[in-house]
Structure 1
């Protein structure tokens, strides 16, 4: 395999071909951590208007708070997936009424959880200004995100790139125990109602997929899978972003100039906006071709327009790969900085040795002083014994030899 890395780039940097292959397969090798809250918000800002996206970037760049969820935005994506799955199952007209009733209660509970998460994003206190004067001040400073934009941000966060959200591994993390409890409830209701088929439906519809012996050797085992290549590219971009901004070396004085040359927050937000826009256009083109593909001239026109989009996809891959090179360089520099810090500590050993040797004469004088101090202390101990004896005599004089019994009540004479 030809190494197409540019000169000076660490060997650990990801190549364009690797990113393209990941997107084609919608899969990344190895286990991948979920995106940070900041990366998720920046990617979700790709669904906002350009003005709203700029406000999100400005707030993050200046250290102002942005909405967060206690469980992370990956859980929000899994919650949305559970709602969509349950609603899809409810649309099946063959679902027995007993199962449908319990499932509707489950869906209602999931909707309430999503509404609670929405409050954290749209009407969260302590994040955006609440008072009239504070809102006016943030609007003047162009850092106030309007309610409509927050609604769009929440809708974008429902699509947070999350590994394995559509796999059996997702089902296990998203609530196997909850689905098992729900299946058990349906079974109890079915047994009381004399409708045993409902219990079978519960086990078929609600029970998550179980791993069998062949799943261990599955090609997706130990990998992060995604819905499509667009989501894969968004996750890769957010992953590289987290590797850079989460590295202490990037925040050190050594990269102070580089931090002023590029705004990584804005870069990730713009990449997300372009990927989301490209995906929307491609979906519209595919829909138009399906609906009007019977006209050959129209189909040829769609094909020509589709070809004009291919360079855009290549450019996005190049931008993400460049972000990956930044991550690799920063991580390599972090190793060098740790070595340099250790070297700086080691180089002081000679100075410390010389200082110890130079102070040897002082230590000899200190030894003599310590001996004299010991003799003085010993003589002082004798004086302390005398003082204790004198003090004991004084105490004996204060305390009566025989205890006197005081009257219960003081009677003046």
Structure 2
């Protein structure tokens, strides 16, 4: 059934059918920026317990700091993906030992980078309370995130929805210069070794296996591809969230009442929790059907349970679409506010022009005064010139042109 736009909405509103199509294809049209740190943390909050999720939302809502990484959480996702790909490559028993040694050394470097990121996020010095008294105070205020919840948060952040993380170039982005050096080192090892497959491994080391993720879409220029539809929906929801909270109009006085009516941080965290839970249930149902599908009654039972889950997916699509409507309305309102600001600025210019015209008489008087002052200064200059000539003559008289020599000894006549 076609999705009908409600009247009175901006033309840029995304429909539920469009979001459903994006999720079915696991791809969004156009280049998409990566999620902000706050949006990534709220999506990762879907992996926390309900108590930990509410604490994290409360911290963000009250302006308290949350853990961040210098390079952003998209790099953490690519790093995690690079580790998994390298481990998959090393699991092949046919890999030459000389190439495996180089890859294993690089994998250890990736492990260290992941451990450093984990320490940064879990310890989070300067973010969470460190002293006993400060911890007790934050616990009383219900804003202290326990260590166990931070571990879950880090695990969730390693799954941050990131565009085109499954494309052939993600390994290079994950390791940047490190993987560029890795390609060169493996090539040198392949040239020096006598293995016939070494050259092939050198060319394939930075390319994912086809069987690694058979359902993952291939990234194409001008699109943002994701692993599956669930990750696509998470990214779309967080993208709409970023569009709203980053818009100055949403933070203006015009939407002060609306900001108190909805907690966007909690909305995104709850959407993420529902999407993650639905994905886990669907994976378990597929596994159960794959393992016990030989029993007809059991397979029919699984099919019935899958049917009951379809309205949940539709509801999530509608919730994300509603978030997109808010983003479109806020952006439309921002344009109107800019127009009003220009009108106000034009009105100010008109007032300034009127004031200038009203002061034209004063300017004429000022011009006359300036002319009289100029004549006075000019006459004063003439007088000063006379005084200067007189003074110069006096100086000449004081200092004769021909110096006189005084006798070495004074003798009265």
Following superposition, the deviation at residue 385 of structure 1 comes to: 5.9
> Which deviates more from structure 2 when the two are superposed, residues 45-54 or residues 117-126?
117-126
Deviations 1:96-129 (A, max 9, x none): 1111111110100001111111122111211111
1:42 paired with 2:38, answer no
Decide whether aligned partners of structure 1 residues 395 and 202 sit closer, same or farther in structure 2, where only a CA change above 3 A counts: farther
Q: Please give the alpha-carbon distance, in whole angstroms, between the structure 1 residues aligned to 2:61 and 2:127.
A: 15
Decide whether aligned partners of structure 1 residues 364 and 141 sit closer, same or farther in structure 2, where only a CA change above 3 A counts: same
1:232 paired with 2:232, answer yes
Counterpart residue number, 1:195: 194
Q: Which of the two has higher C-alpha Rg?
A: 2
- Cα pair 2:32 2:224 within 8 Å, conserved: yes
Following superposition, the deviation at residue 134 of structure 1 comes to: 1.4
- Cα pair 2:3 2:17 within 8 Å, conserved: no
Compute the RMSD of aligned alpha carbons: 2.7
> Which deviates more from structure 2 when the two are superposed, residues 81-90 or residues 362-371?
362-371
Following superposition, the deviation at residue 184 of structure 1 comes to: 2.8
- Cα pair 1:98 1:198 within 8 Å, conserved: no
Decide whether aligned partners of structure 1 residues 395 and 279 sit closer, same or farther in structure 2, where only a CA change above 3 A counts: farther
- Cα pair 2:183 2:206 within 8 Å, conserved: yes
- Cα pair 2:219 2:225 within 8 Å, conserved: no
Decide whether aligned partners of structure 1 residues 124 and 394 sit closer, same or farther in structure 2, where only a CA change above 3 A counts: farther
Secondary structure at 2:28 match in 1: strand
Following superposition, the deviation at residue 5 of structure 1 comes to: 1.2
Secondary structure at 2:13 match in 1: coil
1:303 paired with 2:272, answer no
1:275 paired with 2:243, answer no
Q: Please give the alpha-carbon distance, in whole angstroms, between the structure 2 residues aligned to 1:394 and 1:320.
A: 96
Matches within 5 A, 1:159-174: 159-174=159-174
Counterpart residue number, 1:152: 152
> Which deviates more from structure 2 when the two are superposed, residues 134-143 or residues 373-382?
373-382
Q: Please give the alpha-carbon distance, in whole angstroms, between the structure 2 residues aligned to 1:355 and 1:208.
A: 71
Matches within 5 A, 1:6-405: 6-175=6-175, 178-192=178-192, 194-197=193-196, 199-208=198-207, 220-381=220-381
Deviations 1:316-370 (A, max 9, x none): 0000000000000001111111111111111234322322221111111111221
Decide whether aligned partners of structure 1 residues 318 and 363 sit closer, same or farther in structure 2, where only a CA change above 3 A counts: same
- Cα pair 1:249 1:255 within 8 Å, conserved: yes
Following superposition, the deviation at residue 388 of structure 1 comes to: 7.4
Instruction: Structure 2 unaligned segments of length 5 or more: list them.
Output: 209-217, 402-413
> Which deviates more from structure 2 when the two are superposed, residues 37-46 or residues 140-149?
140-149
Deviations 1:175-232 (A, max 9, x none): 475444323323434555x4243631432431437xxxxxxxx993311110110000
Q: Please give the alpha-carbon distance, in whole angstroms, between the structure 1 residues aligned to 2:136 and 2:15.
A: 47
Q: Please give the alpha-carbon distance, in whole angstroms, between the structure 2 residues aligned to 1:238 and 1:124.
A: 23
Following superposition, the deviation at residue 382 of structure 1 comes to: 5.2
Instruction: Structure 1 unaligned segments of length 5 or more: list them.
Output: 210-217, 402-413
Following superposition, the deviation at residue 393 of structure 1 comes to: 11
- Cα pair 1:30 1:222 within 8 Å, conserved: yes
TM-score under structure 2 normalisation? 0.88
- Cα pair 2:190 2:202 within 8 Å, conserved: no
Deviations 1:63-89 (A, max 9, x none): 111111111111110000000000011
